[in-house]
Chain A
Amino acid sequence: MKRIFYLISKEFRSYFYSPIAYVLIAFFTFLSGYMFFNICKAYMIQMLMSARYPWFAERLNLTDFIIRPLYGNLSVILMLLVPIMTMRLFAEEKRQGTSELLYTSPISSMEITVGKFLSAFLLFLVMIAFTLPFPIILLKYGNPEKGVIISTYLGLILMGASFISLGTFASAITENQVIAAVVSFSMLLIFWLIGWASQAAGEIGEKVFSYLSFFEHFNNFTKGLIDTRDITYYLSFTIFGVFLTYMTIESSRWR
């Protein structure tokens, strides 16, 4: 078990040896900050309008006007950035031949898989931490619902875990980082767009497709709804992804 921590600490640090971590965090912070700024500005205009039309003010609240659109957008940015975080995990090892060291060391395939996954997840958490000023600002100058903020972050973390497990798997099936990124991005996109298909599919199809969609589940969290169905979805997705990665790693010995 100790070896898992050694692996995580090495993997996590190697994000910072190369510029990847800095570039990712910088762009993510910039983009999310830009969005937060614009959404707040739009909210201010609404406030001014509400001075003229008092009935409008009743519909104004921070959850609906700022938190939900902001974190909805962030989840799309994450969909773009997570594949870049995960693409090197296994692909680079295979390309550089360092997988020969890892797979001939007394560390099990499961430990390797989980360690790699957790190192990317840790970077993800660091990245997410850079968005914490937004709720802090909202709390300081407004009166947002605290429960919604907590449930939104819970959703974001769960969704991130499933993104990462999918990206880790994509990295395990190829030795080309670009392919790993393209595959994981496309698959994430499919799981996003699958929600759209639900509108055209029949009664049962609608339920199935919208259940499979990443963002339908995330929606509930941004409403302040913590449903075991959503948690189960993300957790099972994550575990399934990690399991597939493990199987890929194991099977590479038999090919």
Chain B
Amino acid sequence: MIEVKNLTKKYGDKIGIEDVSFRVEKGEILGFLGPNGAGKTTTMRIITGFLAPTSGSAIVCGYDVSENPMEVKKRTGYLPEHPPLYLDMTVSSYLDFVAKIKGVNRKDRKSVIDEVIEKCGLKDVRGRLIKNLSKGYRQRVGIAQAIVHNPEVLVLDEPTLGLDPQQIMEIRNFIKSLKGQHTIILSTHILPEVTMVCTRVLIINKGRLVAEDALEELYKKEREKLILSLRIEGEKEAVLKLLKPLKGVQSVESKNGEILVECSKGYDPRDEILRAVVSSGMKLLEMKENLPTLEEIYIKRISQEG
């Protein structure tokens, strides 16, 4: 659906992004991560046709953004970091204008706008001037603006920025509800948001791509060794002594009442641990795989490059 190839954007001598390539399939929600100034917004602006790349290409819905910008623009909705609102218009007249320039035909326009207003929870404020709306409502108008022409591709730049927790939940659920019908690229600072909403992750740092994969794949790749966390009823020392000599166990340590077992590369000694614990007469309360959090992966990838 979206194919970005060797995209580079330079602002004079300053590099915005360099040699960025990725693909997004139809119906996916791609989480776009990176520190401030990493090039997220630049990439999004190129995909939506707001900026032209210095080199490389972006193909959206089969059309090259540089060669066929009109076809791409018809099929994409874009919510910039600051929602692009005409403050002196009312919500409904603003959405009417956006629908018009996005090419929604006359007979559908009214029903489409009503539907979007309903979807984004703007019913109570449709007649109000945008400048009198709170930040949360403005953000929702921004999202309404992006989806009013029912675009195949949706590009959202930090859609939950500056909202209160309840609004954030609402927007997230809303974005989730769009999954499948729309292909979505979503940039954010908030890592749990990615875990909750996205199917794939892309991490960018200093203009370069440092990670791109499906969320589970990313976890798997990151996990070179299995780390298990156990809760066992019994003498701590005895437990440590018991586990240490087992095959495939590299190190054992006790931390906050839990026992962390780091396994050797390529080993999965879970059944051996189980057997050993049971045969020694101790009680195994819990054993689980300790997955790295997205935060850990993120920090690791970002600092590797730096």
Contacts and interface: CB of A to CB of B under 8 A. Distances in A.
A41 interface: no
B88 A97 contact: no
A107 B149 CA distance: 14
A6 B97 contact: yes
Contact of A101 (B45, B74, B98): B98
A101 B87 CA distance: 13
B51 A6 contact: no
Contact of B70 (A14, A101, A108): A108
Interface string A91-123: 000001111111111111000000000000000
Contact of B49 (A14, A98, A103): A103
A104 B78 contact: yes
B97 A100 contact: no
Interface in A1-35: 2-3, 6-7, 10, 14, 17-18
Interface size of B as a range: 20 to 34
A229 interface: no
A14 B88 contact: yes
B50 A3 contact: no
B84 A96 contact: yes
Contacts of A253: 49-52
**Chain A contact residues (Cβ within 8 angstroms of B): what range?**
20 to 34
Contact of A98 (B11, B48, B78, B85): B85
Given A100-B84, A106-B74, A17 B103 contact: no
Contacts of A53: none
A96 B87 contact: yes
B102 A106 contact: yes
A100 B101 contact: no
Tell me the dominant secondary structure on chain A's binding face: helix
A3 B103 CA distance: 8
Given A7-B101, A104-B76, A106-B102, A96 B89 contact: no
B100 A3 contact: yes
A233 B97 CA distance: 36
A47 B100 CA distance: 59
Contacts of B100: 2-3, 6
Contacts of B52: 253-254
A162 to B, nearest CB: 28
Given A104-B49, A104-B78, A105-B73, A17 B84 contact: no
Interface in B83-132: 83-89, 97-98, 100-103
Given A97-B83, A104-B48, 18 more contacts: A6-B97, A7-B101, A14-B88, A14-B89, A17-B88, A18-B88, A97-B84, A98-B85, A98-B86, A99-B84, A101-B98, A102-B84, A103-B50, A104-B49, A106-B70, A253-B49, A253-B52, A254-B52
Question: Top 4 A-B pairs ranked by shortest CB distance?
Answer: A101-B84, A17-B88, A6-B100, A106-B73
